[in-house]
Amino acid sequence: MNSNILQVRDLRVIYYTRQGALRAVNDISFDLQVGERLGLVGESGSGKSTTAQALMRLIKPPGKIESGQVLLNDLSLLGLSDERMRQVRLAEIALVSQGAMNSLNPVARVRGQIEDALRDHGVKLNRRERAEWIGELLQRVGLPQTAADMYPHELSGGMKQRVCIAIAICLKPKVIIADEPTSALDVVVQRQVMETLETLRAELGASVILIGHDMGLMAQTVARVGVMYAGDLVEMGGVEDLFSEPLHPYTRLLMASLPSLEQKEAARGIPGLAPSLLNRPEGCPFHPRCPEALDRCLVVEPKLQTVRPNRSVACHLHGALSAAREAS
Ligand code: SF4
């Protein structure tokens, strides 16, 4: 039996700007297993949020999903009609984003906003059943029943984000994508919201893709992590394995940029700037910043390849080529 609920293959997203075609997501492939917690990390502009939008088919012009395949169970999301995809969103795959709490309707009570989501998806419940389901949803996300009659401006940031999570899970989706869901919140509320999300994931038997740049939060939350750079997926592995032995030089620098409790000096940033996606360097896109670049890195683009079980990396220092070089 295939235990993958989501299979992403060669997904490419391009923004056609006046300055030229900007390759925001560059042929990335990964799987998400049933019940899995997968993280996608990287600096801003690395393509992780665009990936989330593409999986939800929410890329707006001038952006375009240029090619690739997204299979949710056996459903090919990129081949669905717009109307069918609208039904699949929330019912099968849902997104909680950082900005979601600002997109709540300011003049509608929480109850009405959840009812709208249910109605939009053709859920037929009588008044009593609807009230019960909304009450249960609010309880599941850690909000009091009284929140149903409140307007967004009466809620704190953490409460608003919980309402967004309640809306996201109101149809019990099997995949929840959480794109920096707590970055606007203070650290204590952030941890509480993440705990709520994890409890819900377990209750629903759902899989979660957590997107962010906070490696510490990733370490506490996900089981497997993918690292993105300049639209590429450059490394992937189990979170403990990847954190204890990062293979890609970019991942190593990301890890070194984490402040540690023992470290008294300020955390180091990553030298240089991420490349303009309009002007992607030849060869490995990380080579202008890479302290370990080889001559071939300037001309040959490394592909993501499996270097050991559950571990893949796109770097000329690893994999078949480096093994052949060591053997010679
Ligand atoms: Fe550095 Fe070369 Fe590896 Fe790119 S392929 S990360 S430039 S060593």
Residue 230 CA, ligand 1 centroid: distance in Å: 13
Residue 252 CA, ligand 1 centroid: distance in Å: 12
Q: Ligand 1: does its nearest atom lie under 6 Å from the Cβ of 284?
A: yes
Q: Ligand 1: does its nearest atom lie under 6 Å from the Cβ of 302?
A: yes
**Widest distance between CA atoms in the chain:** 74
Nearest residue by C-alpha to atom 3 in ligand 1: 315
Give the closest residue to 30 by CA, choosing from 259, 224, 195, 293: 224
Contact (Cβ atoms closer than 8 angstroms) between residue 311 and residue 236? yes
Residue with tokens 């080529």: 321
Pairing verdict, β 93-97 and 175-179:
parallel
Nearest ligand 1 atom, CA 248: 6
Residue with tokens 């989706």: 173
Read off the pTM: 0.92
Confidence at residue 90, expressed as pLDDT on a 0 to 100 scale: 93
Confidence at residue 100, expressed as pLDDT on a 0 to 100 scale: 79
* Candidate of 315, 318, 322, 325 to mutate for ligand 1, largest count of ligand atoms within 8 Å of Cβ: 315
Torsion angles phi and psi, residue 270, rounded to 5: -90, 125
Nearest ligand 1 atom, CA 284: 4
| CB neighbourhood size of 16 (10 A) | 13
- Tokens representing 318 are 């690893």
Residue 69 CA, ligand 1 centroid: distance in Å: 28
Q: Ligand 1: does its nearest atom lie under 6 Å from the Cβ of 297?
A: yes
* Candidate of 229, 251, 292, 301 to mutate for ligand 1, largest count of ligand atoms within 8 Å of Cβ: 292
Taking CA atoms, 151 is separated from 48, 112, 190, in Å, by 32, 10, 22
Partnered with residue 238 across adjacent β-strands are 224
Confidence at residue 59, expressed as pLDDT on a 0 to 100 scale: 97
- Tokens representing 295 are 């001559």
Torsion angles phi and psi, residue 6, rounded to 5: -135, 130
Nearest residue by C-alpha to atom 1 in ligand 1: 293
Give the closest residue to 114 by CA, choosing from 131, 128, 101, 97: 131
Give the closest residue to 230 by CA, choosing from 10, 6, 58, 13: 13
Distance CA 88, CA 102 (A): 23
pLDDT tens for the chain, residues 1 to 328: 459 999 999 999 999 999 999 999 999 999 999 999 999 999 888 999 999 999 999 999 999 999 999 999 999 999 999 999 999 999 999 999 877 788 899 999 999 999 999 998 988 889 999 999 999 999 999 999 999 999 999 999 999 999 999 999 999 999 999 998 887 788 888 888 889 899 999 999 999 999 998 888 888 899 999 999 999 999 999 999 999 999 999 999 988 876 654 554 545 667 777 778 888 899 999 999 999 999 999 999 999 999 999 999 999 999 755 655 555 5
Nearest residue by C-alpha to atom 5 in ligand 1: 315
Which numeric CATH code is attached to 4-327? Answer: 3.40.50.300
- Tokens representing 78 are 């990129």
- Tokens representing 233 are 């997926």
Give the closest residue to 91 by CA, choosing from 133, 56, 62: 56
* Candidate of 247, 316, 322 to mutate for ligand 1, largest count of ligand atoms within 8 Å of Cβ: 316
Distance CA 47, CA 41 (A): 9
Q: Ligand 1: does its nearest atom lie under 6 Å from the Cβ of 317?
A: yes
- Element (DSSP H or E) covering residue 82: helix 82-91
Q: Ligand 1: does its nearest atom lie under 6 Å from the Cβ of 293?
A: yes
| CB neighbourhood size of 296 (10 A) | 13
* Candidate of 232, 235, 282, 286 to mutate for ligand 1, largest count of ligand atoms within 8 Å of Cβ: 286
